[in-house]
Structure 1
Amino acid sequence: MSNEVIKLIQSHRSIRAFTDQEIREEQITDIVEAGRRAPTSHNVQAYSIVVIQDPKKKDELARLSGNQSYISKCPVFFVLIADFYRLKKASEIHEQPFEVGEVEQLLVGSVDCALVAENMLVASRSLGLGGVMIGGIRNNPEEVAKLLNLPEYTFPIMGLCIGYPDQNPDQKPRLPKGAIVFNENYDTDQVEAGLKEYDAVTEEYYRQRTNGLKTDSWSKQMATFSSNPKRSHVGDYVKGQGFLTAYHKKNS
C-alpha cells in the first residue's frame, strides 16, 4: 500500500544540474516553513537556516565546499547551522549555567539540522524542484562561519542546493533491505550476505553508468573512503566554538 507522499520520498535522486528558472519567494517561504516543522529534541530547535541567493556568496561557498559548481548554479542555496547561541542567550536572561560541552549537544544540533534539511528537500520536490545535500560545507568551517557572520556556539552542518532539475539521472541502488533492517536484534550474518548481494548490483550499475570505465563495487569504494581520516580539523573548530569542551577535558 502506498500514497503520493511515500512515492515521492522513495523516488529520491540527487539533482546537481539546474535550469535558469528562478524560485519564487513564496516557494522559499514554504520550503523553510516545512523545515521549521521538523521534529526537534526537547523543543530545543538547535538549528538555524541561512538562505543564500547572492551570486558572489554562492560562488565563495562553492569554492569553500570543494569547488562544487552546482552551488554557484542553483537558484537558492541553504546552509543548515547547528545553533546553541540562542540557548546561551536564554541562559543569560534567566541567570542559569550554560552547559554545551558534552558530545550530546553536538549530536542534538547535528540531528536537528539533518531533520530540517530532509523536510526542506521533500517539500522542494513536492513543488517540482530538485536538490542535493552538501557535506562539503564542513571542508572549511571557519571560513564559512566568517562569510556568514556566525556567532559562538554555532557551526555549519550541511548545505542544500535547490532548483528546477536540468537532468534526469537514474536512481542509485541502495543496500538490500536485509543488510540494514533487522527484526528484534542486529544480525551480522545478514550484513555479510547483503554486502555480497549489493556488490554485484553496484558493479553492474557503475559499469552501465560509465560505459565500463568504472566497475568498483560498493564495498571497495567504501573501503577506500574509510581508509583515511575525514575533516580532522572539524573537531578543533567546534571546540573553539564552545562545543566538546567537557569531552576533551575528560579525555586529556
Structure 2
Amino acid sequence: MIVNETLKIIKQRRSIRSFKDEQIKEEELQAVLEAGLYAPNAGGQAWHFTVIQDTELLNKLNIAAKEAAKHHGLGHLKELGIDETFNCLYGAPTLVIVSGNEQSPIPLDADCAAATQNLLLAAESIGLGSCWIFFVLLAFYSSQGPELRKELKIPEGYKPYYSAVFGYKKDTIIYVPDRKPDLITYIR
C-alpha cells in the first residue's frame, strides 16, 4: 500500500468537538484559508470565506441556530435546539463560513464542499482540530438571518453553504474507527 504524508493526514483527520480555550495563531489561520482557496472548482472560484473569531458573535450564531432548530421538522435538531448545554460550535475559537455566489452558472455546493474539505485537511496537517458544522447554518433561517448576513458581511448574492470550526484539540488521543467493509465495487 502506498503511504505518504498527504494520505496519512487524510486518514488521521477526525471531527474534533472539544477545543482548548485559546485562539489559533494568525499564521495558522492564513495557511488554512490559503489551502481553501486552492480547492478544485468548476470555474471562477465563486466562493467567499467569512472568518469569525469574535466570541460574542460566535455565541450569537449558536443561539440563533438553536432557536431555528427548535422549529425544525427533524426531531434530532429540535432536541439539540432545546438542550441548554449544547453549543453547536463546541467552544471552538474560530468559525469559517463558506458561501457561494448564487449567480454562478454552475452549481456551487460541490465547489464549496471541496474548499471546506481543503480547510479541514490543512488544519489537520498543521496540528489544528476542526469539525465540519451544519447546525450553525440554521442561524441563517432564523428571524435573525438577514441581520446576521449583514453583520457577517456575507457578500450580496452569496449563500452560506458550509462551515467549519477550528482550534487546538483538547484531547490528544483520537479514536480512529475501522472503515466499513463493502463500500467499494470494482468493475474491471
Range of TM-score over shorter length: 0.7 to 0.9
Residues 2 and 159 from structure 1, CA distance in 2 versus in 1: closer, same or farther, beyond 3 angstroms? same
The answer to whether residue 163 in structure 2 is matched with residue 159 in structure 1 is: yes
Aligned to 2:126: 127
Give the secondary-structure state (helix, strand or coil) at the position aligned to 2:113.
helix
State the alpha-carbon separation in 1 of the partners of residues 25 and 147 from structure 2. Answer: 28
The answer for the alignment partner of 1:44 in structure 2 is 44
Distance in 2, matches of 1:51 and 1:81, equals 11
Is the contact made by 2:64 and 2:138 (CA closer than 8 Å) also made in structure 1? yes
Alignment of 1:239-250 (within 5 A): none
Q: CA deviation at 1:151?
A: 4.7
Cα deviations by residue, 1:203-224 (Å, 9 ceiling, x for unpaired): xxxxxxxxxxxxxxxxxxxxxx
State whether structure 2 residue 153 is matched by structure 1 residue 148: no
Output the CA distance in 1 between the equivalents of 2:96 and 2:111: 15
Describe the SS at the equivalent of 2:110.
helix
Runs (5+) with no aligned partner, structure 1: 88-99, 186-252
| Mapped contact 2:92–2:166 kept (Cα < 8 A) | yes
1:111 counterpart letter in structure 2: A
Change in 2 beyond 3 A, CA 1:113/1:171: same
Q: 1:70 to 1:84 in 2, by over 3 A?
A: closer
Aligned to 1:9: 10
Distance 2:176 2:63 in 1: 27
Measured in 1, the distance between the counterparts of 2:146 and 2:109 equals 16
More helix by share: 1
Indicate the structure whose relative CO is greater, using CA pairs within 8 Å and at least 6 residues apart. 2
> Shift in Å at residue 135 of structure 1?
1.0
Contact 2:61 2:139 in 1 (8 A): no
Aligned counterparts of 2:119 and 2:159: Cα–Cα separation in 1: 19
TM-score by length of 1: 0.58
Matched, 1:170 2:175: yes
Query: Cα RMSD (Å) of the superposition?
Result: 2.2
Going from structure 1 to structure 2, the CA distance change for 1:11 and 1:145 (only over 3 Å counts) comes to farther
1:70 & 1:164 partners in 2: Cα distance? Answer: 17
| Conserved? CA contact 1:137–1:144, under 8 Å | no
Note the C-alpha offset of 1:72: 6.2
Change over 3 Å in CA distance of 1:127–1:70 after alignment to 2: farther
1:194 corresponds to which residue? none
Larger Rg: 1
Task: Identify if the C-alpha distance between structure 1 residues 64 and 72 changes in structure 2 by more than 3 Å, giving closer, same or farther.
Answer: farther
Q: CA deviation at 1:19?
A: 0.8
Choose the corresponding residue for 1:82, options 92, 97, 100. 100
Normalization by structure 2: what TM-score? 0.77
Aligned-residue offset at 1:145: 4.7
